[in-house]
Amino acid sequence: MNDGTDRNRRPVKFAAPFKNGSMKILVLIAQVPDTTSRIAFKDGGTAFDGTGVTWIVNPYDEWYALVRALELKEAAGAGSITTITVGGADAEATIRKALAIGADDAVRVDAQPADAYGVATQVAAYAKDKGFELILAGKETIDHNGGQVGAMVAELLDLPYVALASKLDVAAGKATIERDVNGGVEVVEAALPMVVGCAKGMAEQRIPNMRGIMAARTKPLTVVAPVAADELAKAVKFELPPAKGAVKMIPADEAGKLIELLHTEARVI
Amino acid sequence: MSTIVFLDTRGEKLPKAAREAVTYASQLAGGPVTAVTFGDAQGLETLGAQGAGKVIVARGLKTVDGQQLTRLVADVATKEHADTIVCVHDATGKTVAPRVAVRLKAGHVAGVTGLPEGGLFRRNVFSGKARAFVEVKSPVKVLSLMPNSIAVGTGTNSATVEEYAGDPGPARITVKEVRKAGSGVPLPEADLVVSAGRGMKGPEHWGLVEELAKELGAATACSRPVADMHWRPHHEHVGQTGLAIRPNLYIAIGISGAIQHLAGVNQSKVIAVINKDPEAPFFKAADYGILGDAFEVLPKLIEAAKKLNAER
Ligand SMILES: Cc1cc2nc3c(=O)[nH]c(=O)nc-3n(C[C@H](O)[C@H](O)[C@H](O)COP(=O)(O)OP(=O)(O)OC[C@H]3O[C@@H](n4cnc5c(N)ncnc54)[C@H](O)[C@@H]3O)c2cc1C
Ligand SMILES: Nc1ncnc2c1ncn2[C@@H]1O[C@H](COP(=O)(O)O)[C@@H](O)[C@H]1O
C-alpha cells in the first residue's frame, strides 16, 4: 500500500499561466448513449447492449466544460482547446461533434475505458508534460455516473480539483469558481493549473453550425497509444431495476385521499 | 485490517448522511470503526450510536480542500491499517474519495447503495435506469455511500473523540465566500419532496406548491424548463442534468415525466403524480396518481395535509 505521502511523486511541469494572454485548455470528452436510449444488456448481463443506440458527447462535457472553455478562449482572444477521449475508433464521430462545437484539436487514447482509474491514468499520462493551464471534466458521465475521473486526474497530476463547479472565471493565472457544497454554494479561488468538474450553470449549450461541422472534418484528431493501467474496480454484472407495480389512481375530486394513503398505506408522511 | 469512515460533519447538526455512512461502515466491518472528520462539529461522540468506536477530528481544517482532506484520510488510513474506507457520495465525498483511492491505489466504488452481495457492490448506472455490480480488485477499497441507502443505526454507545495530530499540508484552494442554501429543507437531504413543472403555468402559482411542501415538511424541486425560464432557482432543478435525489416521497405536479427528468427522481421510494393528461409518461413510473387539474387538486391536498397535521 502507498504510504500516503507525496514522496514518490515526480514534479509535473506546467507552462506559466497565460503566456501571451492565451489559454491552453484540455477538455475531457466521454462518449455516452443518448439520454433517450433504451438500456439493455447482453452476454448474460455482463455488457451494455449498444444495438440501435445513438452516441453523444456526455452532456456535462459538452454543454458546460467545452462551451465554457470556448468562452474563456474567446474572452482571452487567444489560446487553444484540445479534447481528450479514452475510447475506441467508434468514438470518433462523437469526438468530431466536439470539434464542430469549436475545439481546436482532439486526442483519442486508443483504449477501451475499463474503470475510472484506467481513464484517469490515460488522461494524466497524456496531459502531464503538455502545459495545460486548465483541465476541464464533466461533473459525471450519464452512463457510468461515477463523478470520479476529474478528481483522479487531479490526484495523479498533484493538482487542485474543484468538483461540481457551476461558474468558472479566470484572470491573472487564477481561477475563481462557484461550487456546490453540502448545504450551499462556495466561491473559491485557486492558482492555475488545476482541474475542474463542470456542472450546470457554467455555460449555455451551443448548437454546432454548418461551418463548424465542415471545419471539424479537417481538424486534427490524433490517436495515441495507451499506457499500462491497472483495473481496480470493474462492473461485472448489470441488471434493470425491478418493474414498478401498477399505479394506484385516486379520483381528482377525492384528491385529499392521497395524503391519507401516503400516511396510512405508504407510511412516508 | 480495519475500516475507517470519512465524514463532512460541518453544520449545525450532524448530517443524516454521516450517520448512515458510519452505520454502513460498522455493518460492513462487523464491529466498531474509526470515523475521520474535520472542522468544528460538536456532538461527534454521538456517532458511537451508529458504530464509531473513535472519531478523529482535524479541527484546524474548516473547508473542503480536496488535497488536504485526501492527505488527512490517507494518513489515518495508513496509521489504522485500513483496508476499507467509506465516504459519503455527496459534494465533499466526490472531491475526496476518488483522490484517496488513487493515492492508496484502491478500487473506488462511487455511490454504493447497499452492503455487498456475493462480494459485489451495487450501484446505480445509466442515471438510475439500471444497476451495476462492481468487483473491487485491489486489496484496499474506497466505497462512497449514496445518501438514503441504509437505515441509521440506533445504538447507545458513545465514541471517543480525539484531535488529529498530523499535518494535512497547505490548502491550494481558498474560500472567498460561502452562501448557505435558503432556509427550509435542503433538497439533497430531504426525505420528502414536492416538485412541479411547466404545468403550473407560471411562477406566480408556486405559492400552492410551497404551501403543500410546508404542510408536509418537504423540500421543493422543479423540472428543467421551469429553472431555465427562471420561474424557480436552478438549485431546485432535478433530473439527468440537475440534481439526482432519492427521497422517501416525491410528489410531481404538472411534470410530464420525460426520461431525463425521471433519471433524477426514479430512485425515490414512493412517487405520486398529479397531471391532467392521462397519457403523461410519469404515471408509468408512479405509485399513486391523480388525473386532474393541479389548480383544483392542490388546494384539496393542502387541506388534507393540514387536517393530518392537526390530528397528530
Ligand atoms: C439531454 C437532455 C437533458 C435533460 N435534462 C433534464 C433534467 O435534468 N430535468 C428535467 O426536468 N428535464 C430535462 N430535460 C428536458 C425534458 O426532456 C423535458 O422537456 C422536461 O422535463 C419537461 O418539463 P415539464 O414536464 O415541466 O414540462 P412539459 O413537458 O411541458 O410538461 C408539462 C406537464 O404538465 C401537465 N399539465 C399542464 N397543465 C396542467 C394542469 N393545469 N394540471 C396538471 N397538469 C398539467 C401536462 O399534461 C404535461 O404533462 C432534458 C432534455 C434533454 C434533451
Ligand atoms: N472515456 C473517457 N474519456 C475521456 N474523458 C472521460 C471518459 N470517461 C469520463 N471522462 C470524463 O470524466 C468525467 C467524469 O466521468 P465519470 O467519473 O465516469 O462520471 C466525465 O464527465 C468526462 O469529462
Using a 10 angstrom Cβ sphere, with 0-12 exposed, 13-18 middle and 19 or more buried, the burial of residue B226 is buried
Give the 3-state secondary structure of residue A57. Answer: strand
Instruction: Write out chain A residues lying below 8 Å of B297, CB-based.
Output: 252, 255
- What single-letter DSSP state applies at residue B97? H
Report the C-alpha gap between A25 and A104 in whole angstroms.
10
- Report the candidate in B139, B196, B174, B162 with the shortest Cα–Cα distance to residue B63: B174
Name the residue ranges covered by the structural domains of chain A: 24-224
Instruction: Write out chain B residues lying below 8 Å of A145, CB-based.
Output: 110-111, 123-127, 244
Q: Is the ipTM of this complex over 0.95?
A: no
The yes-or-no verdict on residue A8 having pLDDT over 80 is: no
Q: Are A134 and A196 in contact (CB under 8 A)?
A: yes
Q: Is B128 close to A234, i.e. CB distance below 8 A?
A: no
pLDDT for res A9:
45
Residue of A nearest to B276 (CA): A252
Q: State the DSSP H helix or E strand holding residue B295, giving kind and residue range, or none if neither.
A: helix B294-311
Q: Using a 6 Å cutoff on CB, does residue A67 contact ligand 2?
A: no
Task: Give the position, in ligand 1's atom list, of the atom nearest the Cα of A59.
Answer: 1
pLDDT for res A220:
97
Query: Can you list the residues of chain B whose pLDDT is less than 70?
Result: 181-184
pLDDT for res A16:
43
Distance of CA B246 to CAs A56, B142, B268, Å?
A: 26, 22, 4
Q: Where in chain B is the domain with CATH 3.40.50.620?
A: 2-163
Ligand 2 atom 20, closest CA:
A138
CATH class of A24-224: alpha beta
Higher-pLDDT residue of B57, A183 = B57
Report the C-alpha gap between B94 and A120 in whole angstroms.
15
pLDDT for res B186:
76
Find the A29 Cα to ligand 2 centroid distance in Å: 6
The yes-or-no verdict on residue A2 having pLDDT over 50 is: no
Using a 10 angstrom Cβ sphere, with 0-12 exposed, 13-18 middle and 19 or more buried, the burial of residue A44 is exposed
Q: Which three cell numbers stand for residue A7?
A: 514522496
Using a 10 angstrom Cβ sphere, with 0-12 exposed, 13-18 middle and 19 or more buried, the burial of residue B183 is exposed
A242: confidence class by pLDDT, cuts 50, 70, 90? confident
Report the C-alpha gap between B291 and B185 in whole angstroms.
28
Phi-psi region of A79 (alpha: psi -120 to 50; beta: other; left: phi over 0): left
Q: Are B145 and B174 in contact (CB under 8 A)?
A: no
Mean pLDDT of A146-166: 97
Report the C-alpha gap between B278 and B258 in whole angstroms.
14
A15: confidence class by pLDDT, cuts 50, 70, 90? very low
Bridge partners for B133 per DSSP: A237, B122
Report the C-alpha gap between A115 and A146 in whole angstroms.
10
- pTM summary value: 0.88
Q: Is A181 close to B64, i.e. CB distance below 8 A?
A: yes
pLDDT, tens digit, 9 for 90 and up, residues A84-119: 999 999 999 999 999 999 999 999 999 998 899 999
A243: confidence class by pLDDT, cuts 50, 70, 90? confident
Q: Is B234 close to A33, i.e. CB distance below 8 A?
A: no
Listed in sequence order, the residues at least 6 apart from A189 whose beta carbon sits closer than 8 Å to its beta carbon are A174, A175, A176, A177, B173, B174, B176
Instruction: Write out chain A residues lying below 8 Å of B175, CB-based.
Output: 186-188
Give the 3-state secondary structure of residue B299. Answer: helix
Residue of A nearest to B258 (CA): A36
pLDDT for res A40:
96
pLDDT for res B253:
98
**CATH classification for the domain delimited by B2-163, as one of 3.40.50.620, 3.40.1390.10, 3.40.50.300, 3.20.20.370:** 3.40.50.620
Give the 3-state secondary structure of residue A77. Answer: coil
- Report the candidate in B124, B140, B56, B38 with the shortest Cα–Cα distance to residue B89: B124
> For B170, what's the count of Cα atoms within 13 Å in the CB-facing half-sphere?
4
Report the C-alpha gap between A61 and A19 in whole angstroms.
26
Say whether the peptide bond before residue A193 is cis (omega within 30 degrees of 0): yes
| Sheet strands side by side (includes A233-239) | A233-239, B130-136, B121-125, B107-112, B141-145, B82-88, B2-6, B33-38, B52-58, B160-163
Bridge partners for A84 per DSSP: A28, A107
Ligand 1 atom 19, closest CA:
B258
**CATH classification for the domain delimited by B187-311, as one of 3.40.50.1220, 3.90.1150.10, 2.160.20.60, 3.30.420.270:** 3.40.50.1220
pLDDT for res B188:
80
pLDDT for res B181:
66
pLDDT for res A19:
46
pLDDT for res B183:
60
Q: Is A42 on the interface with B (CB under 8 A)?
A: no
